[in-house]
């Protein structure tokens, strides 16, 4: 499979660009006359240059016309409209030779937007918080997209250079330094990538080839051409982007945005192609690399192997878990997710995965989904909030701005005790009170107006009573930055301690390290209370995780036999009440009498028997 872009090694650089319908192509290096490139039978133009240094700026000029940045540029130091720069990936001196990655089932994710996570808004700023994340217990950072986008403020989903690292975040060396430093702390790094569309500003791919098709329509316009005429080059371009991040940046995996908006009806699906190439690359690299899908399909084939008709993703996001829990935590959530609302649906999310597995769904006006009952727990990732859930509210409200302190503790326990991989959204662990808005920094005035109007119309559909803040206004971006004084105060500090305790329990208790569905069951106590049972692989220990989401006390009877139940964690204990300091002396847990317990309203309790 062909690489494109500028491949620099030992003082030489091979420039390659795919433009199958162009008759001629010139390489335009700053300070030099244009040079003709040679075209092969597959539509690739190439030229070897021996007297060039890293950092050299260049463009490609199709058919002798205007010149454009490299579609496979590795660095755009002057933004999306500027020249591309040659990058020497061999020059960075890595210190992570001993890093082989982490087992999938051990991962605890933390989603980060580089620009708003720290005051600096850079990769270096994230490095300054690695000790904090390590003390929290997080061992996997998921970066929102860092591929080059217009300006310096963006969620990243308007990226237009899938291979390039955002210049305002620190560029290629900045990302490498972050990954290197994270690995030294035992933290894996994942990157969110977009292969279903490109942003509107700085998108020069159509100037080179048929990267897009009108055969399918997406919310962002024409779809990527994965199965039409000339699609071989498009498939290679995006497939090699996966290998690029793996090889050159030592990443531990990718989260792929909206895979349901990638259309491929060919005999060999794009993700089967990626799976095949990745297996070869994994053997060469000798360390783990995982693919995580965001999918709206509720289909188990996303994580099944190609031999079984699947796309071979290692994990997929489980939106149903979020929806089922959120409507129980916040009554207003029923307006947002009309097909959710019962405790039984949340119980199904725990035991099966997909809540909608073939039932009629009013939102979609059709039946939706298939059963995921046989899919292992480590194949799903759950969350209480993420960039979409927060940023697509008119006020950018986090869960901590919508529900009470006690409900936040319940939510934390839900994802960290679940038989799935958990993910926190930056600041969630201490109940951040700063919003997370949608923001951009485009240069085209007409496009800016379209974005502003588009957001307003989008929120009209949700019947919001106010307009969202202007995404282009810098104050919208600045207002989304985390306030790092909050974790030290009152309920924020208590919530942070609660998260640390839950993560520590998850990492050490054998029942929470076992994901087999056969050893996960749920007992529905009432319309607002359930018990999640988790059992260890050796069947020697069992946990009963009690969630009372109601306002009143619930009487819960746990299964009784010769072994007594002992309470090991209670969200109402003084350590987590937000008013008292942590207890200095741990209290010896007392066994429950006859397995019966009165669970206060809005409380999570973990009981154990061995």
Q: How confident is the model at residue 267, as a pLDDT?
A: 95
- 320 annotated ligand binder: yes
Q: What is the DSSP letter of 528?
A: T
294 is catalytic: yes
Q: What is the DSSP letter of 589?
A: P
229 is catalytic: no
- Residues 6 or more apart in contact with residue 346 via CB below 8 angstroms: 321, 324, 325, 328, 530
- 35 annotated ligand binder: no
pLDDT digits (tens, 9 = 90+) for 386-445: 999 999 999 999 999 999 999 999 999 999 999 999 999 999 999 999 999 999 999 999
Q: What is the pTM of this model?
A: 0.96
Paired strand residues for 218: 221
- 391 annotated ligand binder: yes
Same fold, 5-89 and 514-609: yes
Paired strand residues for 520: 534
Compute the CA torsion angle 16, 20, 23, 29 (nearest 10 deg): -20
- 390 annotated ligand binder: yes
Element at 18 (helix H, strand E): strand 12-18
Q: How confident is the model at residue 590, as a pLDDT?
A: 60
407 burial via Cβ count (<10 Å: 0-12, 13-18, 19+): middle
3-state SS track over 291-310: EEECCCCCCHHHCCCHHHCC
Q: How far apart are CA 87 and CA 75, in angstroms?
A: 7
- 183 annotated ligand binder: no
Does position 580 have pLDDT exceeding 60, yes or no? no
How confident is residue 589, by pLDDT bands cut at 50, 70 and 90? low
Q: How far apart are CA 452 and CA 57, in angstroms?
A: 34
pLDDT digits (tens, 9 = 90+) for 511-533: 999 999 999 999 999 999 999 99
**Do the Cβ atoms of 119 and 125 come closer than 8 Å?**
yes
Of 70, 142, 227, 257, the active-site residue reads 257
Distances (CA, A) of 227 to 18, 104, 232, 267, 293: 17, 32, 8, 9, 20
Which CATH number describes the domain made up of 514-609?
A: 2.60.40.1180
How confident is residue 486, by pLDDT bands cut at 50, 70 and 90? very high
Q: At what angle do helices 171-184 and 231-249 cross, to 10 degrees?
A: 50
Least confident of 33-42, 145-154, 159-168, 456-465: 456-465
- Residues 6 or more apart in contact with residue 500 via CB below 8 angstroms: 135, 136, 137
Q: How far apart are CA 2 and CA 204, in angstroms?
A: 20
pLDDT digits (tens, 9 = 90+) for 430-462: 999 999 999 999 999 999 999 888 887 776 666
- 244 annotated ligand binder: no
Q: What percent of the chain has pLDDT above 70?
A: 96
CA nearest to 537, candidates 556, 550, 518, 565: 518
Provide the H-helix boundaries in 66-170.
114-117, 123-127, 130-136
Cα 212 versus chain centre, distance: 25
- 392 annotated ligand binder: yes
The rounded mean pLDDT for the chain is 95
User: Would the CA dihedral through 341, 344, 350, 355 be positive or negative?
Assistant: negative
**DSSP string for residues in 317-379:** E-HHHHHHHHHHH-TTHHHH-TT---HHHHHHHHHTS-S-SSEEETTTTEEE----TTS-GGG
Class of domain 5-89: mainly beta
Q: What percent of the chain has pLDDT above 90?
A: 89
Does position 250 have pLDDT exceeding 70, yes or no? yes
**Do the Cβ atoms of 238 and 162 come closer than 8 Å?**
yes
Distances (CA, A) of 322 to 144, 237, 328, 337, 355: 19, 34, 10, 10, 11
How confident is residue 464, by pLDDT bands cut at 50, 70 and 90? low
More confident residue, 455 or 7: 7
Q: How confident is the model at residue 468, as a pLDDT?
A: 86
Count CB atoms within 10 A of the CB of residue 360.
11
More confident residue, 336 or 45: 45
Q: How confident is the model at residue 529, as a pLDDT?
A: 98
Domain boundaries, the chain: 5-89, 514-609
Distances (CA, A) of 249 to 85, 96, 160, 165: 17, 11, 19, 10
- Tell me the two tokens of residue 550: 């109601």
As a whole number, mean pLDDT of residues 41-70 equals 96
Does position 183 have pLDDT exceeding 70, yes or no? yes
Of 294, 339, 378, 575, the active-site residue reads 294
Q: How far apart are CA 500 and CA 513, in angstroms?
A: 16
- Tell me the two tokens of residue 480: 């989304």
- Residues 6 or more apart in contact with residue 463 via CB below 8 angstroms: none
């Amino acid at each position: 499979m062909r690489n494109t872009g500028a491949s620099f090694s030992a003082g030489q650089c091979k420039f390659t660009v795919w433009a199958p319908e162009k008759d001629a192509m010139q390489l335009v290096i700053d300070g030099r006359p244009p040079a003709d490139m040679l075209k092969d039978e597959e539509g690739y133009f190439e030229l070897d240059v021996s007297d060039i240094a890293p950092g050299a700026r260049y463009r490609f000029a199709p058919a002798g016309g205007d010149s454009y940045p490299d579609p496979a540029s590795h660095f755009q130091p002057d933004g999306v409209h500027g020249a591309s720069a040659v990058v020497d990936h061999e020059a960075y001196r890595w210190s992570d030779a001993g890093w082989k990655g982490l087992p999938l089932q051990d991962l605890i994710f933390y989603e980060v937007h580089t620009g708003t996570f720290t005051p600096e808004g850079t990769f270096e700023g994230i490095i300054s918080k690695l000790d904090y994340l390590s003390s929290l217990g997080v061992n996997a950072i998921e970066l929102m997209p860092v591929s080059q986008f217009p300006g310096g403020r963006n969620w990243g989903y308007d990226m237009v250079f899938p291979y390039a690292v955002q210049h305002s975040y620190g560029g290629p060396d900045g990302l490498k330094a972050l990954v290197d430093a994270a690995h030294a702390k035992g933290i894996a790094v994942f990157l969110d990538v977009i292969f279903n569309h490109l942003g509107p500003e700085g998108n020069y791919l159509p100037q080179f080839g048929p990267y897009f098709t009108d055969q399918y329509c997406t919310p962002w316009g024409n779809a990527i051409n994965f199965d039409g005429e000339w699609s071989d080059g498009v498939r290679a371009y995006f497939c090699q982007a996966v290998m690029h991040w793996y090889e050159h940046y030592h990443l531990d995996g990718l989260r792929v945005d909206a895979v349901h908006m990638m259309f491929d009806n060919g005999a060999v699906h794009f993700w089967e192609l990626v799976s095949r190439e990745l297996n070869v690359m994994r053997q060469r690299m000798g360390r783990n690399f995982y693919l995580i899908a965001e999918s709206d399909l509720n289909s188990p084939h996303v994580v099944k192997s190609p031999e079984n008709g699947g796309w071979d993703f290692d994990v997929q996001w489980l939106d149903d878990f979020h929806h089922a829990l959120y409507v129980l935590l916040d009554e207003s959530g029923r307006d947002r997710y009309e097909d959710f609302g019962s405790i039984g649906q949340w119980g199904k999310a725990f035991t099966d995965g997909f809540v909608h597995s073939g039932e009629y769904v009013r939102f979609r006006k059709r039946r939706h989904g298939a059963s995921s009952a046989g899919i292992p727990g480590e194949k799903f990732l759950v969350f209480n909030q993420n960039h979409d859930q927060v940023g697509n509210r008119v006020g950018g409200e986090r869960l901590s701005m919508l529900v009470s302190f006690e409900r936040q503790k319940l939510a934390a326990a839900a994802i960290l005790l679940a038989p799935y991989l958990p993910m926190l959204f930056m600041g969630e662990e201490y109940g951040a009170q700063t919003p997370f808005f949608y923001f951009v920094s485009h240069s085209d005035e007409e496009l800016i107006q379209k974005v502003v109007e588009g957001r307003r119309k989008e929120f009209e559909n949700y019947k919001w009573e106010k307009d969202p803040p202007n995404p282009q206004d810098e104050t919208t971006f600045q207002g989304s930055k985390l306030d790092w004084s909050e974790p030290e105060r009152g309920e924020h500090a208590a919530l942070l301690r609660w998260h640390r305790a839950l993560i520590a329990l998850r990492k050490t208790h054998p029942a929470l390290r076992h994901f087999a569905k056969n050893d996960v069951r749920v007992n529905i106590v009432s319309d607002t209370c359930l018990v999640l049972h988790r059992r260890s692989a050796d069947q020697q220990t069992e946990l009963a995780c009690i969630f009372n989401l109601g306002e009143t006390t619930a009487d819960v009877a746990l299964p009784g036999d010769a072994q007594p139940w002992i309470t090991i964690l209670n969200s109402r204990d003084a350590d987590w009440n937000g008013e008292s300091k942590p207890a200095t002396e741990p209290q010896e847990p007392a066994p429950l009498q006859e397995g019966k317990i009165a669970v206060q309203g809005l409380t999570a309790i973990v009981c154990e028997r061995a």
